[in-house]
Structure 1
Amino acid sequence: MFLTGFAALAVMPLLPVAARDLDGVGLYPLVAGAFVAASLLGGVLGGAWADRVGARLPLMVGVVLTVATLLISATSGSIWQLASGRFTDGIAAGLVAVSVNAAIGQSYPDHIRAKALALMSTCWIVPSLIGPPLAGLVAAWSSWRTVFFGLAVLTVIPAAAAVLLLRGRPMRADAVSAGPPPRPPLLVAGAVSVAAALTQFGVSEWDVAHLLCTGAGLAALVVLAPRLLPPGTWRAARGLPATALLRALTSGAYFTLEAFVPLMLTTARRVPEVVVGLAFTGAALAWAGASWLQGRLQERVPRHLMVRVGAGVMAVAVVLAGLCTLPSVPAAAAVASMVLAAVGMGWAAPSLTLLSLAHSPADRQGAASSAMQTSQNLGQTVVLAVASGLFSAVGAVADGRLPAFAGAFVLLLLPAVAAGALAARTRVVVGAAPGPDFVRGSRRGWSRSSPRP
């Protein structure tokens, strides 16, 4: 996880440079959005795979595929090859993320899972501190291709460890479904990934063609995405459906804030780039610290209350970011809003993951992890698209960019407040049999199981 985080954080600052060198700046939104879009497909594939044979095989494939995708990107001769590399890397990332969560659920008892997830968050601290600046130095000394090749060499280490240490390991008896192996809706997942990429491309500019792309992508997501989620997700049915919805709401609010605050600091408030970099570093440290704290408090604070507190902290962060659109408010407050939002996510995200595992039996924890990964990516895509559309619309009629940022931040209050209000629906009932009201079925994706006793 440490080297995976290092690769992810080091690559992002180099994508604009690579797009410029490949004469593909106009397609940069597609390159940037391909990763998130493809991770939808990787998450669905990894979840079903983990339920069928255990988490070790999809984890092995995911880390090996990561090495291959870095090599594809490093040898890019066109912007389309770079986009293909990022899309494939998204599939690999989806496999790894879902497999890690499923492995924690299948291998650790409940009282250790929170600490394991906190450790996963801690693994991102050092990469957040040294990954981007080190990659920038290497790119300045040589080229962005050298960074991709170097990351491929580094990622060989966890790939080799996964293959050598996990190969042939016996699986837990309760880690594999006793029934017929589920068949994930891969065609639907692929279509949703394409729709997400189309939406990301559409919000890059404000004209008729891009507006049509955005509308088509969002329409496809509305029609097809529910097939990848537990029934009742959109109405926040108690249990796993509400947990999946809250992952979408909190992720959409946080990552959209993370996208708009640096843009505001750079373009409207004219803050030096080093300050923006410190904001990302502070956010990473805050997320890891809050995640560690929720792991320590899990025996004393119910997890659904941690989600409510985390959502409330994120709402305060959004308000703080909105106040920074006033010229009289110091720009440093916007940096603090990113750090504060990361504290909220550090509380909410691991708690939601643990709740999803608690709502799932052992042979469906891969499907639950897949649903959470899918909802996270959908939340990022939809909230960012809507906020970007509002930003472009307000910016087209307003004087200056600050009113456009204000409109986007007001919009972000909705998912944050909704997550806090619905947190009680994720509560695990004491004494109830472990297992959700919904399991993954055959071609139709999710189907309703018999009621819990």
Structure 2
Amino acid sequence: MAAGATAAARILDREHRLVTLGAFALCFLAAFENLAVTTVMPTISRELNGAELYAVAFAGPLALGVVGMVVAGAWSDRTGPRTPLISAAVLFLLGIAVAGAAPTMAWLVVGRLLYGMAGGAVTVTLYVVVARAYPEELRPRMFGGFAAMWILPALVGPAIAGAVASAVGWRWVFFGVLALVVAATGMIVPATRGIRRSDSDAGWQPARIAWSVVLAIAVLALSLSSQVGGLATPAVALVAIVLVAIAVRPLIPPGTLRSRRGLPSVVLTRAAVSGAYFGGEIYLPYLFTVRDGLSPALAGLSLTGAGVAWGLTSLWQGRRGASSDPRAGIRWGALAVLVSLATGLLTVALGLPPWVAIAGWTIGGAGMGACWPRLAVLALGYSAPEEQGFTSSALAIADAIGPGVVLATVGIVFDAVRPADTLLAFALVFAASVLVAALGIVVSARVRPRETAGRLVP
């Protein structure tokens, strides 16, 4: 039997079956919610007269997600992932309900902040579940499966969300997710009962939790700095960026901001690549809605090809397992993301038809599928068992803070330029994301420790 088939059987054997199916169900839910909300957000922004909070509606949940990540990481190390997972699901339900019933854009942002925090906690608990419940050789298969859960939502999510928004209103996109949350949580929670806790006695580490709160506030301040107006905007933004740099350091491996070889560069690469990709993604349906007059359903289809390519490439990476050099997939993936953002920039600058950017975005999705699982596998492989909660939290923080800072920054530029020249504002968004992707390519060369005297050293 092929190695890939054997791995597939083992993640679905009696010991792992319920955990695998439940974890995949939660990833499916996260993918559907992400693609659905990205699809209908231009409609929400227009109906609630909230264009100035468009970027905040995406950057804010990522910022609050950091708090959920840090708390969930410490909680999972202390008690195992089951209790934090249940708590996160309850908070997620509350946030979805508030967002769906929001009378104003500000209230919608509040709802997204709540379930953004919950989403961060779920991400970390799933990483801990993989680290504790699966041997090392099965982890690539699980991470590949996580990304594969984006395939069906990518195929039908944007179309369903756009059709629902057009037929009965965007609120039902949120309300429809409520039932999915209950079902997915009901699958995985019973299966996590026996997953062990860490032997670490590090406790709650209140200092890390406090720093995560400071970090979230800093990213929120950066997101909202354009609302201050005048010369105060760059001043507030600068202070917020400095606070982000200070507050994030205790939450990630030492040397991450200096791109130290090994685990620190894995985390920094993850932040840069995800920041570049998602920094452009949320503006793609917005561009097609504003520039080309596409309906929410048609504009949302711009995300379909990328989601399918992401999932299929991740599955392929998972089948290759540990037999291939992870650096090649990571570098190739970062380059593909840069290419996708460049096509978005050229589409705006040269007035090209939407299919050009959509084709480019499909390439970017394949790039994310190539590097995303590999970065996770490398990070856990570099970590001792008692550090897996911290590492999982650091990866999730990279996934949140990278896009959060990029979205907040490009949002400032977009809000400043949009009243005078909307197309120039879109072009600047994609140009900034291209620069971040280039940073990811540079850092990706340092994800593996250098070899000295036959051993790896940082």
Q: TM-score range by the shorter chain?
A: 0.7 to 0.9
Maintained 8 Å contact 1:305/1:423: no
Structure-2 residue corresponding to 1:176: 198
Q: Give the secondary-structure state (helix, strand or coil) at the position aligned to 1:298.
A: helix
**In the aligned structure 1, how far is the partner of 2:155 from the partner of 2:227?**
29
Identity level (%): 31
Structure 1 residue 287 corresponds to structure 2 residue 313: no
**In the aligned structure 1, how far is the partner of 2:102 from the partner of 2:298?**
32
Moved more, 273-282 or 190-199: 273-282
Q: CA deviation at 1:409?
A: 3.6
Maintained 8 Å contact 1:40/1:374: yes
Aligned pair partner of 1:416 in 412, 427, 437? 437
Question: C-alpha offsets along residues 121-164 of structure 1, whole Å, 9 cap, x if unaligned?
Answer: 12122222323333344444444444433321232112223344
Moved more, 56-65 or 303-312: 56-65
**In the aligned structure 2, how far is the partner of 1:331 from the partner of 1:74?**
30
The verdict on how the C-alpha distance between 1:202 and 1:365 changes in structure 2, with shifts beyond 3 A counting, is same
Q: CA deviation at 1:94?
A: 0.5
The verdict on how the C-alpha distance between 1:345 and 1:206 changes in structure 2, with shifts beyond 3 A counting, is farther
Structure 1 residue 243 corresponds to structure 2 residue 269: no
The verdict on how the C-alpha distance between 1:87 and 1:391 changes in structure 2, with shifts beyond 3 A counting, is closer
The verdict on how the C-alpha distance between 1:312 and 1:146 changes in structure 2, with shifts beyond 3 A counting, is closer
Q: CA deviation at 1:28?
A: 4.7
Structure-2 residue corresponding to 1:124: 150
Q: CA deviation at 1:93?
A: 0.2
Question: C-alpha offsets along residues 234-271 of structure 1, whole Å, 9 cap, x if unaligned?
Answer: 11112221111111110111111213444444444666
Maintained 8 Å contact 1:41/1:186: yes
Q: CA deviation at 1:354?
A: 0.9
The verdict on how the C-alpha distance between 1:326 and 1:155 changes in structure 2, with shifts beyond 3 A counting, is closer
Q: CA deviation at 1:102?
A: 1.5
Aligned pair partner of 1:357 in 380, 384, 408? 380
Q: Give the secondary-structure state (helix, strand or coil) at the position aligned to 2:322.
A: coil
The verdict on how the C-alpha distance between 1:67 and 1:253 changes in structure 2, with shifts beyond 3 A counting, is same
In structure 2, list runs of 5 or more residues that go unmatched. Answer: 1-25
Moved more, 196-205 or 285-294: 196-205
Structure-2 residue corresponding to 1:442: none
Aligned pair partner of 1:230 in 238, 253, 258? 253
Q: Which amino acid aligns with 1:93?
A: G
Maintained 8 Å contact 1:33/1:201: no
Maintained 8 Å contact 1:305/1:424: no
Structure-2 residue corresponding to 1:98: 124
Where in structure 2 are the equivalents of 1:372-411 lying within 5 Å? 372-390=395-413, 402-411=423-432
Maintained 8 Å contact 2:68/2:117: yes
The verdict on how the C-alpha distance between 1:404 and 1:162 changes in structure 2, with shifts beyond 3 A counting, is closer
Structure-1 residue corresponding to 2:447: 426
Moved more, 92-101 or 328-337: 328-337
Structure 1 residue 159 corresponds to structure 2 residue 181: no
The verdict on how the C-alpha distance between 1:394 and 1:152 changes in structure 2, with shifts beyond 3 A counting, is closer
**In the aligned structure 2, how far is the partner of 1:396 from the partner of 1:28?**
14
Q: Which amino acid aligns with 2:368?
A: M
The verdict on how the C-alpha distance between 1:413 and 1:142 changes in structure 2, with shifts beyond 3 A counting, is closer
Maintained 8 Å contact 2:219/2:244: yes
Q: Give the secondary-structure state (helix, strand or coil) at the position aligned to 1:297.
A: helix
**In the aligned structure 1, how far is the partner of 2:446 from the partner of 2:215?**
27
Q: CA deviation at 1:282?
A: 0.7
**In the aligned structure 2, how far is the partner of 1:50 from the partner of 1:160?**
19
**In the aligned structure 2, how far is the partner of 1:179 from the partner of 1:32?**
35
Structure-2 residue corresponding to 1:447: none
Moved more, 243-252 or 191-200: 191-200
**In the aligned structure 2, how far is the partner of 1:138 from the partner of 1:395?**
29
Aligned pair partner of 1:57 in 83, 106, 112? 83
Structure-2 residue corresponding to 1:443: none
Q: CA deviation at 1:295?
A: 1.1
Moved more, 324-333 or 346-355: 324-333
Moved more, 90-99 or 129-138: 129-138
Structure-1 residue corresponding to 2:3: none
Q: Which amino acid aligns with 2:248?
A: A
Q: Give the secondary-structure state (helix, strand or coil) at the position aligned to 1:315.
A: helix
Question: C-alpha offsets along residues 61-103 of structure 1, whole Å, 9 cap, x if unaligned?
Answer: 2223222322333444555443322111011100111111121
**In the aligned structure 2, how far is the partner of 1:348 from the partner of 1:203?**
33
Q: Which amino acid aligns with 2:434?
A: L
**In the aligned structure 1, how far is the partner of 2:287 from the partner of 2:189?**
44
Q: Scaled by the length of structure 2, what TM-score is found?
A: 0.83
Q: How many residues align?
A: 431
Q: Which amino acid aligns with 1:427?
A: R
Query: What's the C-alpha RMSD, in Å, of the aligned pairs?
Result: 3.3
**In the aligned structure 2, how far is the partner of 1:265 from the partner of 1:21?**
17
Q: Which amino acid aligns with 1:255?
A: F
In structure 1, list runs of 5 or more residues that go unmatched. Answer: 437-450
**In the aligned structure 1, how far is the partner of 2:380 from the partner of 2:437?**
23
Q: Which amino acid aligns with 1:186?
A: I
The verdict on how the C-alpha distance between 1:267 and 1:107 changes in structure 2, with shifts beyond 3 A counting, is same
**In the aligned structure 2, how far is the partner of 1:408 from the partner of 1:15?**
17
Q: Scaled by the length of structure 1, what TM-score is found?
A: 0.83
Aligned pair partner of 1:83 in 105, 109, 125? 109
Moved more, 371-380 or 294-303: 294-303
Moved more, 353-362 or 212-221: 212-221
Maintained 8 Å contact 2:95/2:111: yes
Structure-1 residue corresponding to 2:36: 10
**In the aligned structure 2, how far is the partner of 1:279 from the partner of 1:17?**
16
**In the aligned structure 1, how far is the partner of 2:219 from the partner of 2:202?**
31
Q: Give the secondary-structure state (helix, strand or coil) at the position aligned to 2:306.
A: helix
Structure-2 residue corresponding to 1:42: 68
Maintained 8 Å contact 2:55/2:411: no
Q: CA deviation at 1:20?
A: 6.0
Structure 1 residue 191 corresponds to structure 2 residue 191: no
**In the aligned structure 2, how far is the partner of 1:129 from the partner of 1:292?**
16
**In the aligned structure 2, how far is the partner of 1:13 from the partner of 1:349?**
23
